[in-house]
Amino acid sequence: MQKQIEDIYRAHSRKVLATLIRLLGDFDRAEEALQDAFAEAARTWPSEGIPRNPFAWLVSAGRFRAIDHLRRQVRFAAAVPDIEDSLYREGDDLEIGDMALIEDDVLRLIFICCHPIIPADAQIAMSLREICGLTTEEIAHAFLTPAPTIAQRIVRAKNRIRAAGIPYEVPDKAELPDRLQHVLHVIYLVFNEGYSASSGAEIVRSDLTSEAIRLCRLLLTLLPDPEVSGLLALMLLQDARRAARRGASGEMILLADQDRSLWDGERIREGLAIVDGALGAGTLGCYGLQAAIAAEHVRAPRAHETDWRRIAGFYDLLLAARPSSIVELNRAVAVAMCEGPAAGLAVVDAILASGELHRYHLAHAARADFLRQLQRFADARLAYETALELCRQEPEKAFLRKRIAELGGQ
């Protein structure tokens, strides 16, 4: 039963939280209610069984516990009836079962996290905390920032939302274009956390990748835009490889070694159709360019048939449109495949020398791979060890240990 409750938490907790925020009108109250609801589930479900609709049960339990907490706060006793009325409005029972409304709750949450009143760094931190459910420490590690700094950003963002009375809603269509890039960025962050979890025992969190794709489809119905389509294509093409990225024991399998027969053909066809349409219309934005890169990987019947020069060309366009050290690092791999490992190593060394990505384990792992190919084994070992020290995900750690062991006494 404990495993079932954990699975339900993983699958539904962020949607439950999003709906509780809408119903309770307060982030902190909703977060406390979420934890109370699952605590109650852990107490009662083993004896009473899992309800037919766990989502509705958890929302109702969380809201009831929120009222109960208010009743216990004697200093607010006079205000409790008014607060109760606000938390139990007419028609709320219908709302809990209204799946169309609930499906929009997470999108509402993204828009409130991405409101222009909130600084960009706080938008990202708050989104990862509220939508992905990452801990403050995990967010801090991902952005190479002290945990107290991340915590302060989140607290300040919530205070701004509360003080400004920001409505919990998707903006009017006239406002959507101005808010679009921030929302797309958050949806992709949700996807990336699912595609390559920042820490823990799993490589992939399919609940997050599926949710990000669902949200992007929903956003596309609200605002048909080439960048929304580009992001959807990118996520579909990357997620199509999910089943091949893990071995039977959960170990990480690199793209070049994956069994391509395990790739999801339906998602690939949908993603390629979007990319080819955008290429034909000349409407490739930044997400579209990334989708075009992903498309080149899935077009190749075998890894050695990948058109790396075309991929490098797309990376050049992406760098010109949106310079980024992460894009430059990914481009280094394409350069190495076209011009040899020494060329790739020169790019990575320049990135690290600039002070960028020095705490990013994949930069050191890429450097180690190039050094290994150049038979500079002692340097490669040191680079792998640095990557291992910085890595937080167990399958990646196991892969890096394997690489170090393969070097042996070389």
Is the model's pTM score more than 0.85? no
Predicted confidence at residue 410, as pLDDT, reads: 63
For the cut 90, the answer to whether the pLDDT of residue 234 exceeds it is yes
Predicted confidence at residue 86, as pLDDT, reads: 44
Distance CA 246, CA 113 (A): 33
For the cut 70, the answer to whether the pLDDT of residue 409 exceeds it is no
Distance CA 193, CA 207 (A): 10
Which residues have C-beta within 8 Å of that of residue 139, sequence separation ≥ 6? 125, 128, 129, 145, 150
Number of helices and strands (H, E) in the chain? 20, 0
Is pLDDT larger for residue 81 or for residue 403? Answer: 403
Predicted confidence at residue 138, as pLDDT, reads: 77
- Where on the phi/psi map is residue 355: left (φ > 0), alpha (ψ -120 to 50), or beta? left
Residue pair 362/348 in contact (Cβ under 8 Å)? The answer is no
For the cut 60, the answer to whether the pLDDT of residue 340 exceeds it is yes
The model's pLDDT over 126-177, given as tens digits with 9 standing for 90+, comes to: 988 888 888 888 788 767 688 899 999 999 999 998 888 888 888 887 788 8
HSE-CB for 130 with a 13 A CA cutoff? 34
Predicted confidence at residue 178, as pLDDT, reads: 80
Distance CA 164, CA 181 (A): 22
pLDDT tier at 85, thresholds 50, 70, 90: very low
Residue 246 dihedral angles phi and psi, to the nearest 5°: -125, 140
Q: Give the percent of the chain with pLDDT over 90.
A: 51
Predicted confidence at residue 73, as pLDDT, reads: 64
**What six digits make up the tokens of 232?**
């959807």
pLDDT tier at 356, thresholds 50, 70, 90: confident
Helix axes 120-127, 147-164, angle to 10 degrees: 100
